[in-house]
Amino acid sequence: MLLMDKEPGFVPMRERGEPKGGAGEPAGKALAIADAAETDRISPETVGDITSKNAVIKVRGGNVHYGDTHALRNISLDVGRNEVVALIGPSGCGKSTFIRCLNRMNDTIESARVTGDFRLDGTDIYARDTDVVLLRARVGMVFQKPNPFPKSIYENVAYGPRIHGLASNRAELDDIVYGSLERAGLVNEVKDRLDEPGTGLSGGQQQRLCIARTIAVNPEVILMDEPCSALDPIATARIEDLIDELAQKYAIAIVTHSMQQAARVSNRTAYFHLGRLVEVGPTDKIFTNPSHKLTEDYVTGRFG
């Protein structure tokens, strides 16, 4: 059980006729089989300070249902500017579901129902008049498996600015592409072969290309869904360095299964368990002196 989040990380666009509980419902199955007694151990209240100075994302009482299963229960959490928030927890605990709520990627799952107050800079993400396209331009996302478009490296980065009309001419577009590749730490490796397919790069390079593609749109928040889980340690280290640099400018929420990674890159850490947010706090505190028993068990490797 509890393996849905480890599946190579996509949620299909729609449940293409598959039976319920397929990859489209990451947390559902795990919750359904969860031991009721264990659920009772989790206090409904989150331990620690959920707020953040300079909060860009403010979530209060967020709930997600996939059909009949309650995947996220009453989550409240802030993500602030220049801050990296790591979301950790056992598979199927709802961390991916949570960040997918922030750019409404869950919209593509038909059975998903999101309730609660999700705000980006004070505006309601789920309001009727919120434009999803604009929202996703402001809240970029990097996925678990590197997924460059089957186009050239240049086109991969230029696509976002082009559809959003961010560049008025070719020179500006070139600037955006070079700048994004530079900030993603990729420009030296690819500047002589921008016309080559993005899928021809190594896995780590592809993931940095995806990051360049995300920051080319100049978002305010970057969501990362286990960005290093398909990469080797060297590529992982490069991405982690990159996250450090990006944190100077963006608000970042990163889902990770590696507690070392959470400890290395994040300022705050949120521990999810069975659809609830158990504890939030400064990363040091979570890893050295957690307040909740479940958090302690998890970070000390007693389960999970």
Partner 1 sequence: MAMLTPAETRRRVDASLRRRYRSEWLFRLYGLVSVLMGVGFLLVLFATIIGNGYGAFRQVFIQLEVQFDPAVLDPEGTRQQDTLASADYSQLVKTSLRTLFPDAEDRTSRRELNALVSSGGAFKLQKMLLADPTLLGQTRNVWLPADDEVNVFVKGRAPAVSAGSGDEGRRLSDRQIAWIQTLESSGKLEQRFNTIFFTAGDSREPELAGIWGATKGSFFMLFVTLFLAFPLGVAAAIYLEEFAPRNWLVDVIEVNINNLAAVPSIVFGLLGLAVFINFFGMPRSAPLVGGLVLTLMTLPVIIIASRAAIKSVPPSVREAALGVGASPMQMVFHHVLPLALPGMMTGAIIGMARALGESAPLLMIGMVAFVVEPPGGPMSPSTALPVQIYLWADSPERAFVERTSAAIMVLLAFLLVMNAAAVWLRSRFERRW
Q: Name the residues that contact partner 1, by CB under 8 A.
A: 10-14, 16, 103, 105, 108, 110, 133-137, 140-143, 145, 147-150, 159-160, 163-164, 197-200, 210, 213-214, 216-217
Contact yes or no for 70/63 (Cβ under 8 A):
yes
Identify each DSSP E strand in 31-81 by its residue range: 55-66, 69-80
5 or 279: CB nearest partner 1: 5
**CB-wise, 155 or 279, nearer to partner 1?**
155
Strands 139-142 and 221-225: parallel
CB of 16 to partner 1, least distance (A): 7
SS3 81: coil
Q: How far apart are CB 217 and partner 1 at their closest, in Å?
A: 6
CB of 11 vs partner 1, minimal distance in Å: 8
- Other CB atoms within a 10 A radius of the CB of residue 222 amount to 24
Give the whole-angstrom CA distance, residue 267 versus residue 269.
7
Nearer to partner 1, 7 or 284 (CB): 7
Are residues 188 and 228 in contact, defined by beta-carbon separation less than 8 angstroms? no
Judged by phi (left if over 0) then psi (alpha if -120 to 50, else beta), residue 118 lies in beta
Residue located via tokens 């997924």: 147
Q: Which residue, 146 or 304, is less far from partner 1 as judged by CB?
A: 146
Q: Which helix (H) or strand (E) holds 233?
A: helix 233-246
Q: How far is the CB of 13 from partner 1 (least distance, A)?
A: 5
Least Cβ distance, residue 302 to partner 1 (angstroms): 33
The radius of gyration of the chain from alpha carbons, rounded to an integer in Å, stands at: 19
Structure token digits, residue 244: 């450090």
Identify which of residues 105 and 274 has a Cβ nearer to partner 1 in the complex.
105
Q: 100 with 24: CB under 8 angstroms? A: no
Cα distances (Å, whole numbers) of residue 301 to 13, 95, 144, 225, 286: 34, 18, 23, 22, 13
For residue 152, the minimal CB distance to partner 1 (Å) is: 9
Closest listed residue to residue 246, CA positions, set 268, 271, 224, 270: 224
CB 231 to partner 1: min, Å? 15
Which of residues 17 and 233 has its CB atom nearest to partner 1 in the complex?
A: 17
Which C-beta is closer to partner 1: that of 201 or that of 299?
A: 201
CB of 297 vs partner 1, minimal distance in Å: 33
Q: Which is nearer to partner 1, 108 or 260 (CB)?
A: 108
How many whole angstroms separate alpha carbon 96 and alpha carbon 106? 10
Name the 3-class secondary structure at 163: helix
Spatial contact of 156 and 146, defined as CB atoms under 8 Å apart: no
